[in-house]
Amino acid sequence: MDKQQKKLQRKAATLVEGLPYMRKYSGETFVIKYGGHAMGSKKLARQFAQDITLLRQVGIFPVIVHGGGPQIGEMLSRLSIKSEFIDGLRVTTKATVEVAEMVLCGSVCKSIVADINAVGGRAIGLSGKDSNLVTARKVQRTKPDPDSNLEQVIDLGFVGEPAVVDATILRQSIDNGIIPVVSPIAMGDDGNTYNINADTMAGAIAGALKARRFVLLTDVPGVLDGEGEMIAELTETEINDLKQKGVISGGMIPKVETCLNALHEGVRGAVILDGRVKHAILLEIFTESGAGTLIRGSAPA
């Protein structure tokens, strides 16, 4: 048997392995947060578009929520708009949120939509403003005053979080065979526009849709143990234990908390996955071993 035949047989074996999962997840909604280095690479962006289109073609309903922090930062720099940071968080001024909306809802979202449409999918760009998909509220943060030790309120400007999610427009899009691509911008009841953390936005939308899976594409392999090895599966109890031991720390804490919040809202399983890996989503969904860290809820994932 020559090398080409062996290569074709491996491809056939992969299809056979994936078939039970295609049946299992047909008709289910997957909410995928897309960002990081995967979004900045043209090659990975096209592969992502191919993966999403394939999911739709085998009967899975993908909903994309994208980030775009680096693109916002680049545009702010080009416009000579300086950013202030408090405890590592960007203060979003009126000018900054206008740039964020322009970049996220404009160039970033439309690029993702175009990539999906170019490989045979049907995608539409939305934001939290469209059809009142997401109503935002202003984020409140506090920190101890170094002198009095009393809690001080930190004003981050136009940084919001989802208060209400009305997923009607997403369900209508799905029913019409369209893949929604959502920018994390929303209007508050106060009439102001707010920039929302994309992970938080995606988790809230996953909960509102009662998605089968919530997938967080990141720049790390998944949740790592004390030796730096990826953990394949976790429960909420195990996560809390690892947080207490300091194994889960830093930027991974808000990610696992976002996943747990989604599970509490009815999502069946959440996955933290390395978006830099070629076809990571397909490997996670259609293979026995998966490719990231699966956080399970009470129901089968």
Q: How do 134-138 and 159-165 pair as beta strands? A: antiparallel
pLDDT (tens digit per residue) in 173-224 = 999 999 999 999 999 999 999 999 999 999 999 999 999 999 999 888 888 8
**And the tokens for 10?**
């491996």
Domain end residue (candidates: 150, 170, 195):
195
Count of structural domains within the chain: 2
Place of tokens 């047989």: 9
Question: Could you tell me what percent of the chain has a pLDDT over 70?
Answer: 87
The model's confidence at residue 89, banded by pLDDT at 50, 70 and 90, is low
Domain identity same for 191 and 228: no
Domain identity same for 267 and 159: no
Would 94 be classed as within a structural domain? yes
Question: Could you tell me what percent of the chain has a pLDDT over 90?
Answer: 48
What average pLDDT is seen over the chain? 87
Q: With a cut of 90, say whether residue 124 has pLDDT above it.
A: yes
Domain identity same for 184 and 253: no
Q: With a cut of 70, say whether residue 10 has pLDDT above it.
A: no
pLDDT (tens digit per residue) in 108-118 = 999 999 999 99
The CATH number assigned to the domain holding 90 equals: 3.40.1160.10
Domain end residue (candidates: 195, 222, 250):
195
* For range 92-97, the mean pLDDT: 89
Domain identity same for 179 and 215: no
Domain identity same for 124 and 224: no
Beta bridge partners of 225: none
Domain identity same for 58 and 191: yes
| Cα–Cα distance for residue pair 126/171, rounded to 1 Å | 13
Q: What angle do CA 6, 24, 272 make, to 5 degrees?
A: 80
Domain identity same for 255 and 167: no
User: What pLDDT does 280 receive?
Assistant: 87
Would 154 be classed as within a structural domain? yes
The model's confidence at residue 70, banded by pLDDT at 50, 70 and 90, is confident
User: What pLDDT does 290 receive?
Assistant: 74
| Domain of residue 72, residue span | 54-195
The model's confidence at residue 285, banded by pLDDT at 50, 70 and 90, is confident
Would 25 be classed as within a structural domain? no
Domain identity same for 85 and 131: yes
In this structure, the number of other CB atoms found within 10 A of the CB of residue 263 comes to 24
Domain end residue (candidates: 156, 171, 195):
195
